[in-house]
Structure 1
Amino acid sequence: MAKKGKKPSETPCKETFEVVPVEGKTPATVVLLLSSPEEDILIKASEAIHTFAEKGDENKITLLGLGALEPLCQLITHSNKLVRRNAFMALGIMAINGDVKSALERIHVIPSIIDKLSLEEDIVVHEFATLCLASLSLDFVSKVQIFDSNGLPPLIQLLSSPDPDVQKNSLEIILNLVQDYQCRVVVHEFGGIPPLLELLKSDFPVIQHLALETLQNVTTDRETRNTFREEQGFEKLMDILNNTAVSDLHAEALDALANYLSDSESVQQIHESGGLTRLMDFFLTPNLPEIQSNVVKCITRVAQSPENRKLLHEQHVEKVLVEYLSVEDNGVKMSTCQAVAAMSLHLDSKGRFQELGGIPALVDGLCTECLKLREAATQALAILTHSNDTSAMALYEAGGHEILVQQLQGSCARSVANAAAALCNMAGQEVIRCSILAHGVMQALVEPMKSTDTQVLVNATLCLAVLACDTEARAELQSAGGLQPLVNLLRSYHNEVLQNACLAVNVCASDEPAAVEMCKFGALELLREINQSANRRSSFSELAMISLLNSNLSVKYSLTGHLAFTDIVSDGFYDAGQARAGQRVLSLEELSKKPVNQQRPIIVINTTTEEKTEDDGQKDESQPGSPTEEPWKMMDDVSLQVLVKETKESILPLDDEREQCTALARMVSEAMGGAVEMEKLHEFPWVLHLSELKFQLQSNVIPIGMITRGIYCHRALLFKCLADCIGMSSTLVRGEYNRAWNEVLLLSGNPSSSSGRYMVDLMHQPGRLLAPSTPAAVQYQTI
């Protein structure tokens, strides 16, 4: 049986399938329908998703989990307008959710969205496309994509849309983008300023706020400010400020105005048109604290240039600021202090603030518990008193100096720096300086000198240098422990800190006790290092070094080996020998406490005797077992006292200075063992003699009067000591191998002839005067 064959098909069926109504009761089903090829299904599915997503974040997350995002992103480019509109509605609503936004950023849908912002597109598409971009534009990467996809031009066009939602969304996107300078320029280039100004008249406050905030950002660009001026931007902002019905816009309007007025050319133009007077009238109008704070911030911005400060002064802006200093709100006061500081850079404004009573009002700000207000008040006072004695006196009369001294011990570095600057400015007047010192400023400055804040250190050291100009102040600083932190600042590599520290060291070195203590802390070693550095050396460091040495002749002689005619040795001077490179010269007290050693002795000068008072005797009797260590004191030197007395009685009365010099040289020689022939110098028992004295005294320190066998270095030191006692000009110069000599300045026998320098022979032919550089002089100086 043959197989049954298949009947050949006839013509294809031309009947279409009847419409089947589709009902999706679950989100998953509706999401699946987004992939349908049929437009009617797509329209209904995307509309259903929009309705579902509108009901809350939970639904949006559900749709995200079901994969609705990618098909929606494809549908926004669909050829059917209704499909596109519904897809954008669904996508825009979903993008509000943070998780959905993060997922959208990974899909890179931004170029497709921007493509649908053309004016030919449905206005509903505009609304939800911009809503989606507004959410995405909060992210930096998305902002870059919007800018790179040329999103700003169509967004600027949409600012003129008749739909307020489109306007609002577009403003939000632009505002997010113009945080970057490049975007601000593009907004200006594509004509964004006129529509932004037009939106200030919107019936919707949120749009007005966004427009003002955007203007505030874009007007930081100079070219944008020019366009702003051409479009009567100032007048439109003033219309807002003069309209009390929109007072909620005043703060942002002032912020935008501040940028515009930071340009001197703009200020000059509005001044010429009377606009500056209108602005001052508004400033004087009673307002809420928030508005007042923005007013003074605006003044501060305007007052950044000398030209603007001059115009503001002519408009009596000081009156506005002094009135604002009396308001209750601390925020307004703080902003006002900042404005006062800015305006005080104008010399005439300083006097005006003082005349209007602004300084007492600023002093009141110093007493508040608000740290920011105290900082701003101290800054204003520091600038007001700079190079202005009248303001400084007004601050003193208001009691501000006492509060500023207290501020030095505060925790706010800016306040401390400003307080130090203000006190430094005031200290130029003697009556004020004395009062500042009386309130313990030297003690208060110690802690700021330990600060890690550069400006605090700069101002504190300069303040110290100005205040420490008398012995009492320096003694107070020393007793307060301020010298060590001052010396530590010589290690600074900040030029201004180092310069001011050197200046303060120079001032403090005027007193020998302070100079000795600073040397103890290593000041000389640090200054030597500084002065050897090409980068750190300055005239201040060199001056500090000279002052320290001149106030501590023992150290000077040890380091330099030379004392000049003007260096007068006194009690406590000691010769510790030549200091090695980098070695600190120990104090006499430190040297005296060392155990007896084999090194050369320390020779000390002491012409006084410390007498024991009756109180000391009673103290010893009443506290026989006191564990307190007795303070160190120098050993008495009776023999030196005798020599000083003899010098004054027998040498000083001589009329001829040459005769005085010769007689003194012979006296020194006799006291030190008499003349010694050059050939027999090695037989002179000076080494043994000094060793015996060290053993006898059980000390490395020997009073010079006890030396009866001395050579060049001992005789030269004694000569210098006695010569200084009677006012005879003499140097002291150290050579090598225990050589030392003196040069004297003597007039020749002919009074009309020039004076001459001579070296004094104290060793071989006592009293012989040797002309410098002669063979005899050279032989005396060297072996």
Structure 2
Amino acid sequence: MDKQSLSHCGYLTTTLHEVRLILSCNLNAVCTQSFFSGHRMGKKGRRESETPGRETFDPLPVESKTPATVVLLLNSPEEDILVKACEAIFTFAEKGDENKVCLLGLGALEPLCRIITHSNKLVRRNAFMALGTMATNGDVKNALKKLDAIPSIIKNLSLEEDTVVHEFATLCLASLSVDFVCKVQITDNQGLPPLIQLLSGPEPDVQKNSLEIILNLVQDYQSHLVLHELDLIPPLLELLKSDFPVIQHLVLKTLQKVTTEKGTLAVFREKQGFNKIMDILNNMEFSDLHSEALQVAANCLTDNESIQLIHESGDLNRLMEFLLKPSTPEIQSSAVKCITQVAQNPESHKLLSGQNVEKILVDLLNVADISVKTSACQAVAAMSLHQASKDCFRDLGGIPALVQSLSSDSSILKEAATLALANLTCRNQLNALAVYEAGGHEILVRQLRESSPRMVANSATTLRSMAEQEVIRRSILSHGAMQALVEPLKSTDPQILINATQCLSVLACDNEARVELHRAGGLQLLVNLLHSFNRDVLHSACLAVNVCASDDLTTVEMCKFGALEILQEINQSRNRRSRVSELAMMRLLHSNLSVKYSLTGHLASTDIITSGFYDAGKACSGQRILTLEELSKEPVNQRQPIISINTATEETTDMPEDRQSDPSESDTSIKGDRKSQRKKRKEDKQKDEAQSESVTEKPWSMMDDVSLQILIKEAKESILPLNDERQQFATLARLVSEAMGGAVEMEKLHEFPWMLHLSELKFQLQSNVVPIGLISRGIYCHRALLFKCLADCIGLSCTLVRGEHNRAWNEILLFNQSPFSQHQFSQPRRFIVDLLHQPGSLLAVDSPAALQYQTI
């Protein structure tokens, strides 16, 4: 600790109260010596004629070599003591941070904050000198924030106050204004108006400190609006003429911030601000200011009116010269940023193209300096928003240079390069091909795993554009694009999610790609995105689901993850529902007819039932429908059985013997050839099992349905040779009726033992899943399903509709020949096929007979 005496402080006289205070603290007070080093004066004499009073004490000159002594004197009520104590503390604090921290520890800060509001000007001045000097230390600054001194400091910024007070008060605020809470306090206590007034004052130090405070305040956008109302621009422009470079730099940095706000930029334009910036750029003596001046100019170039004025004045050509002539990388980079701003305006873009800017930018892509290359990439990205420049950059060889930048160690450069490539390849397949030929797709796939959000988003966008070409898409997939996309799908950044799902939508049109996505865990992540309340994310996710639902296996997997339930919930919401979400749900249902039938109760004639279909009964909205495998593994219950369709010709090798047997073999309604073929297959199966010694557990597979295969064969042989379509439907209806117990009179339907029969099947199979071919006692719902299945197998067109109370029916469309029509056929008519009461009868839709068949 510096133990030097506090020098250059003048006389320090004390009263009896102060002497007692000093002595009580065991401080080393040396009397009869001057407090100042270098000043010695005797004690003041009194005139002979004066008679000393009993309660007076002669002034006592004191010299102290201990800072604690002077800190204690800050509590003195005497102005002379305060003046000299503050001056001593200022001198002591100026010697270094160690002394400032010492004074802080001795408690100097609180009394100094109190006496800066003293009525005596000299006391205030010296107190501010001490406080401002101490506040430049970090520890002191943190302690000062807790004392709420900002209102008192701001009160002393009036123009009537001493210049020295202004200097050290602003010095104090400059230290405090880097803190957000202090910024708010300065603004709330109306600190900006006096600070702006001080910019026009004569003292450079006050100007510098005030600029630092204002610059710190404008880092937060909310301050921009306040500054605009206080007319900040004129004094700033005036200070550009300052003889002090530090002030000029601070002015330009402040202008760079405030001119991002439209209102302030308009004032800047009205006050001829851009002309003053160009004066700096045209003066080579101010080359150290050129970089910051160009950054202010870049803000001006975001405004259409400013651009027009700049173009008319010829200043745009001057800006172009900064690109062409050799200069420092910093200046060149700032000049390119100006071009970037101009390029974003369609009208201004034409001006730039006329200046051959594309060629200049391609040359800058090959320079060594990273900052210049980064700015050039950003300018290319801006120029590439226009189709003409896209082609120009390709012809000039700019794409290989951008691809090369993707391998840079600079993340900022790589981010700018990916943005440029994203814009270049958007709706431009020739550019996409050029990126592919330069090997860019391989690097872009790797960048999907990068940590930079913008880099990932831009890479996904570029790959999406490139993947529209099949050759490129295959190459992208060969480099592991599906696995790489899994990471972006985990992001919380909306733009990454949007771009990643859009890229996925293009890549997932390939079946192998969907399999890879599922293996990598991407399907689960995609389905999770359907929960998003961001409308754009949800829209993109629905599109991706729609593409991924192109095959049944992927659809089943997405349904396992709850995709259908989520989409049902979305489509029931007024705010979240859209045509895309409805399309995604219908696509899932189209690829999973079992779920579609359970949820909607309707299969169209274009919905073709194939092996693997099952009827799990009517499902409630939002209810998850279990897969056939999951249903087959449930314990046998009392509910109605799940009816399965298996049209496959090969047998299931792991099916138990009891499931191979047909409980309906003794039924006379089943033809002998069906029974004999089932028996033969059973015997062959037993032989195969006897020869097999393997006891390893095999994966689940559907139960074989030999009876259904026989029915399909019989339908083809008996129905396809018929020429009349009406006769074909009637014959098929009778075949279905015969297979499921024959005709049943409506009055005796309650006597038909279908429920007992199905219960017996479940018990014998020890499963809730019953193959439809084993059902020999079926009613409406069973017969309608079998009719639809057989019709689809032989190429007849019909629907399947579920009603209430186990009712179901098939609708067909027939053209009736009309002798009164000029054409061969009249308008088609819809009929319902009777499969139960009068098998083969065709009931006109909406007729009494049809309505009776559909309802109880």
- Pairwise same-fold verdict (TM > 0.5): yes
Matches within 5 A, 1:330-369: 330-369=370-409
What secondary structure sits across from 2:200 in the alignment? helix
Aligned 8 A contact 1:53 1:59 in 2: yes
CA offset digits 1:306-358 (Å, max 9, x no partner): 44444444433333433332233434433433333333323333233223322
Q: For 2:524 and 2:322, how far apart are their aligned partners in 1? A: 55
Q: For 2:552 and 2:304, how far apart are their aligned partners in 1? A: 56
1:275 positional shift: 0.8
Q: For 1:651 and 1:66, how far apart are their aligned partners in 2? A: 108
Q: Which residue of 2 aligns with 1:4?
A: none
CA offset digits 1:376-419 (Å, max 9, x no partner): 32222222222222322222222222222222233333322222
Q: Does 1:536 align with 2:579?
A: no
1:366 positional shift: 2.0
Deviates more, 1:574-583 or 1:264-273: 574-583
Q: Which residue of 2 aligns with 1:504?
A: 544
Q: Which residue of 1 aligns with 2:35?
A: none
Unpaired runs of at least 5, structure 2: 1-46, 53-57, 654-684, 819-823
CA offset digits 1:474-501 (Å, max 9, x no partner): 3443444432222222222222222222
Q: Of 753, 761, 771, which aligns to 2:834? A: 761
Q: Which residue of 2 aligns with 1:7?
A: none
Q: Does 1:735 align with 2:803?
A: yes
Q: For 1:195 and 1:458, how far apart are their aligned partners in 2? A: 48
Aligned 8 A contact 1:334 1:377 in 2: yes
Q: For 1:667 and 1:107, how far apart are their aligned partners in 2? A: 97
Q: Does 1:519 align with 2:562?
A: no
CA offset digits 1:263-313 (Å, max 9, x no partner): 221222121121111111112333333334433344444445444444444
Q: For 1:493 and 1:362, how far apart are their aligned partners in 2? A: 36
Q: Which residue of 2 aligns with 1:197?
A: 240
Q: Of 151, 175, 183, which aligns to 1:140? A: 183
Aligned 8 A contact 1:77 1:112 in 2: no
Matches within 5 A, 1:74-113: 77-78=120-121, 93=133, 96=136, 106=149, 109-110=152-153, 113=156
Aligned 8 A contact 2:186 2:192 in 1: no
Q: Does 1:771 align with 2:844?
A: yes
Q: For 1:43 and 1:712, how far apart are their aligned partners in 2? A: 108
Q: Does 1:636 align with 2:704?
A: yes
Q: For 1:44 and 1:478, how far apart are their aligned partners in 2? A: 81
1:776 positional shift: 2.0
What secondary structure sits across from 2:709 in the alignment? helix
One-letter amino acid of the structure 2 residue matched with residue 560 of structure 1:
T
Q: For 2:440 and 2:85, how far apart are their aligned partners in 1? A: 76
Q: For 2:814 and 2:79, how far apart are their aligned partners in 1? A: 123
Q: For 1:564 and 1:362, how far apart are their aligned partners in 2? A: 52
Unpaired runs of at least 5, structure 1: 1-11
Q: Which residue of 2 aligns with 1:574?
A: 614
Aligned 8 A contact 2:196 2:210 in 1: no
Q: Which residue of 2 aligns with 1:725?
A: 793
One-letter amino acid of the structure 2 residue matched with residue 680 of structure 1:
K
Matches within 5 A, 1:266-281: 266-281=306-321
CA offset digits 1:83-103 (Å, max 9, x no partner): 998777666655645677666
Deviates more, 1:92-101 or 1:663-672: 92-101
What secondary structure sits across from 2:528 in the alignment? helix
State the identity as a percent. Answer: 64
Q: Which residue of 2 aligns with 1:745?
A: 813
Q: Which residue of 2 aligns with 1:3?
A: none
Q: Which residue of 2 aligns with 1:8?
A: none
Q: Which residue of 1 aligns with 2:486?
A: 446
Aligned 8 A contact 1:571 1:606 in 2: yes
Q: Of 436, 455, 463, which aligns to 2:503? A: 463
Matches within 5 A, 1:152-163: 152=195, 154-158=197-201, 161=202
1:571 positional shift: 1.8
Q: For 1:25 and 1:493, how far apart are their aligned partners in 2? A: 72
Aligned 8 A contact 2:449 2:484 in 1: yes
Change (3 A) 1:224 1:198: farther
Q: Does 1:668 align with 2:736?
A: yes
Q: For 1:491 and 1:777, how far apart are their aligned partners in 2? A: 43
Deviates more, 1:413-422 or 1:228-237: 228-237
Q: Which residue of 1 aligns with 2:668?
A: none
Q: For 2:762 and 2:192, how far apart are their aligned partners in 1? A: 94
One-letter amino acid of the structure 1 residue matched with residue 626 of structure 2:
L
RMSD, matched Cα = 3.9
Q: Which residue of 1 aligns with 2:31?
A: none
Change (3 A) 1:431 1:590: same
Aligned 8 A contact 2:461 2:499 in 1: yes
Tell me the number of residue pairs that the alignment of Structure 1 and Structure 2 aligns: 754
Q: For 1:600 and 1:327, how far apart are their aligned partners in 2? A: 76
CA offset digits 1:141-164 (Å, max 9, x no partner): 673488448423541221xx3x65
Change (3 A) 1:727 1:74: closer
1:547 positional shift: 1.6
1:537 positional shift: 1.4
Q: Which residue of 2 aligns with 1:412?
A: 452
Aligned 8 A contact 2:531 2:566 in 1: yes
Q: Which residue of 1 aligns with 2:719?
A: 651
Aligned 8 A contact 1:597 1:700 in 2: yes
Change (3 A) 1:57 1:596: closer
Q: For 1:537 and 1:33, how far apart are their aligned partners in 2? A: 72
Q: For 1:231 and 1:765, how far apart are their aligned partners in 2? A: 95
Q: For 1:509 and 1:437, how far apart are their aligned partners in 2? A: 19
What secondary structure sits across from 2:426 in the alignment? coil
TM-score (norm 1): 0.85
Aligned 8 A contact 2:199 2:207 in 1: no
Q: For 2:713 and 2:775, how far apart are their aligned partners in 1? A: 17
1:13 positional shift: 8.9
Aligned 8 A contact 2:234 2:271 in 1: no
Aligned 8 A contact 2:740 2:783 in 1: yes
Aligned 8 A contact 2:157 2:195 in 1: no
Q: Does 1:713 align with 2:781?
A: yes
One-letter amino acid of the structure 2 residue matched with residue 437 of structure 1:
L
Q: For 1:357 and 1:30, how far apart are their aligned partners in 2? A: 73
One-letter amino acid of the structure 2 residue matched with residue 575 of structure 1:
D
Aligned 8 A contact 1:117 1:126 in 2: no
Q: For 2:118 and 2:711, how far apart are their aligned partners in 1? A: 115
Change (3 A) 1:49 1:34: farther
What secondary structure sits across from 2:832 in the alignment? strand
Q: For 2:740 and 2:758, how far apart are their aligned partners in 1? A: 12
1:426 positional shift: 2.1
What secondary structure sits across from 2:647 in the alignment? coil
Aligned 8 A contact 1:310 1:346 in 2: no
Change (3 A) 1:22 1:183: farther
Q: Which residue of 1 aligns with 2:771?
A: 703
1:427 positional shift: 2.4
CA offset digits 1:169-204 (Å, max 9, x no partner): 4544554455532553366368314422212xx2x4
What secondary structure sits across from 1:747 in the alignment? strand
Aligned 8 A contact 1:75 1:87 in 2: no
Q: For 2:564 and 2:415, how far apart are their aligned partners in 1? A: 37
Matches within 5 A, 1:43-192: 51-57=91-97, 65=106, 69=112, 73=116, 77-78=120-121, 93=133, 96=136, 106=149, 109-110=152-153, 113-115=156-158, 131=171, 134=174, 139-140=182-183, 143-144=186-187, 147-148=190-191, 150-152=193-195, 154-158=197-201, 161=202, 164-176=204-216, 179=219, 180-182=223-225, 184-185=227-228, 188=231, 191-192=234-235
What secondary structure sits across from 1:675 in the alignment? coil
Q: For 1:331 and 1:420, how far apart are their aligned partners in 2? A: 24
One-letter amino acid of the structure 2 residue matched with residue 409 of structure 1:
R
What secondary structure sits across from 1:599 in the alignment? coil
One-letter amino acid of the structure 1 residue matched with residue 561 of structure 2:
F
Q: For 2:480 and 2:773, how far apart are their aligned partners in 1? A: 44
One-letter amino acid of the structure 2 residue matched with residue 688 of structure 1:
L
